[in-house]
């Protein structure tokens, strides 16, 4: 499973996606050297930390004790052991004669994605064991694809930041991949396993072989019946001439 950390800038707002349990550092991009207080706020209502420039003292919100670090030189905020409830808007403000916002971050905290499920069964409606339905499931999402021998349809679905993707790699493997902005996971089935469903071990007969065998049997029976009825007709004609 892969994890990643992403911060992107959109005008004055920085957008970040992080993994639950990790840490993130948020910097003040445009701070002033002369101010009375420097405040980091969460969702405009909670003062995470308040720094007093004159006394060089800081006050941390009780619910964030042990989880935040403030750099008195760069005024950056480090938030540790992130939880999903930490998703939201963070603002850095300086106050002198009036308040000024010097940084804004929109933070999203994600759980790591789990290994998706990948199953396959013959398509009962078609009745051909070489037509196989693949199902890829994970985090409440599901995609279905159909395969015929070595050809499989690719399919994907996305919802709430999670993408589930069913693909074929080099005609040798079917891959079920699940991802969100900070992690991904996968499951795979080899084409040879699908081929085993189409051609069971110890048997070379497929649906098409059986159908051909059935048609040939019908043809032979009809041929045989025709061959048996012909002598009867000749015998009847012969007897008729003798009368």
Pair (131, 84) in one structural domain? no
Pair (187, 92) in one structural domain? no
Residue 121 maps to a domain: yes
pLDDT reported for residue 129: 65
Sorting pLDDT into bands at 50, 70 and 90, what band is 3?
very low
Pair (105, 7) in one structural domain? yes
Residue 19 maps to a domain: yes
pLDDT tens for 210-225 read 444 445 454 444 555 5
**pLDDT higher at 90 or 30:** 90
Pair (7, 105) in one structural domain? yes
Residue 135 maps to a domain: yes
Pair (177, 130) in one structural domain? yes
Range with lowest mean pLDDT among 15-29, 63-77, 166-180, 205-219: 205-219
Domain boundary among 110, 131, 154: 110
CB-based contact 77:49 (threshold 8 Å): yes
Sorting pLDDT into bands at 50, 70 and 90, what band is 40?
very high
Mean pLDDT to the nearest integer, 8-31: 78
**pLDDT higher at 207 or 40:** 40
Most confident option among 61-75, 125-139, 156-170, 188-202 = 61-75
Residue 146 maps to a domain: yes
SS3 label, residue 203: coil
Name the CA radius of gyration of the chain, rounded: 36
User: Is 73's pLDDT higher than 60?
Assistant: yes
SS3 label, residue 140: coil
**CATH code at position 21:** 2.60.40.10
User: What is the number of structural domains in the chain?
Assistant: 2
Residue 77 maps to a domain: yes
Separation between Cα atoms, residue 72 and residue 36, nearest integer Å: 13
Which residues, 6 or more positions from 141, have their beta carbon under 8 angstroms from its beta carbon?
157, 159, 162, 164, 178
**pLDDT higher at 9 or 105:** 105
CB-based contact 68:89 (threshold 8 Å): no
Residue 225 maps to a domain: no
**pLDDT higher at 227 or 188:** 188
pTM for this predicted structure: 0.66
16 has which bridge partners? 7, 107
User: Is 226's pLDDT higher than 70?
Assistant: no
Count H helices and E strands in the chain, helices first.
2, 19
Domain boundary among 54, 79, 110: 110
Full residue range of the structural domain in which residue 88 is found: 2-110
H helix or E strand, kind and range, residue 145: strand 141-148
**pLDDT higher at 66 or 236:** 66
Pair (63, 143) in one structural domain? no
pLDDT reported for residue 192: 79
SS3 for 68-107 is EEECCCCCCEEECCCCHHHCEEEEEEEECCCEEEEEEEEE
Residue 89 maps to a domain: yes
Closest CA to 39 of 75, 15, 9: 75
Computed over every residue of the chain, the mean pLDDT equals: 78
pLDDT tens for 125-172 read 655 667 788 899 999 999 988 877 667 888 899 998 899 999 888 778
Pair (85, 138) in one structural domain? no
Residue 230 maps to a domain: no
Number of residues that this document lists for the chain: 243
């Amino acid at each position: 499973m892969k994890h990643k950390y992403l911060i992107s800038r959109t005008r004055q707002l920085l957008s970040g996606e992080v993994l639950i349990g990790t840490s993130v550092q948020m910097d003040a991009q445009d701070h002033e050297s002369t101010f009375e207080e420097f405040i980091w706020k969460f969702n405009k209502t909670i003062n995470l930390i308040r720094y007093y420039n004159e006394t060089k003292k800081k006050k941390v919100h009780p619910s964030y004790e042990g989880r935040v670090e403030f750099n008195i030189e760069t005024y950056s905020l480090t938030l540790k052991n992130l939880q999903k409830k930490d998703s939201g808007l963070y603002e850095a403000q300086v106050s002198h004669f009036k308040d000024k916002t010097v940084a804004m971050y929109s933070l999203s905290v994600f759980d790591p994605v789990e290994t998706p499920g990948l199953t396959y069964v013959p398509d009962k409606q078609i009745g051909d064991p070489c037509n196989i339905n693949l199902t890829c499931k994970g985090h409440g999402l599901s995609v279905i694809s159909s395969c015929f021998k070595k050809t499989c349809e690719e399919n994907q679905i996305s919802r709430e930041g999670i993408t589930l993707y069913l693909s074929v790699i080099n005609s040798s493997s079917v891959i079920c991949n699940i991802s969100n902005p900070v992690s991904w996971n996968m499951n795979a089935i080899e084409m040879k396993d699908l081929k085993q469903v189409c051609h069971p071990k110890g048997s070379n007969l497929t649906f098409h072989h059986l159908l051909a065998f059935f048609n040939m049997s019908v043809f032979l029976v009809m041929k045989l019946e025709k061959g048996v009825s012909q002598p009867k007709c000749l015998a009847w004609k012969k007897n008729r001439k003798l009368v």
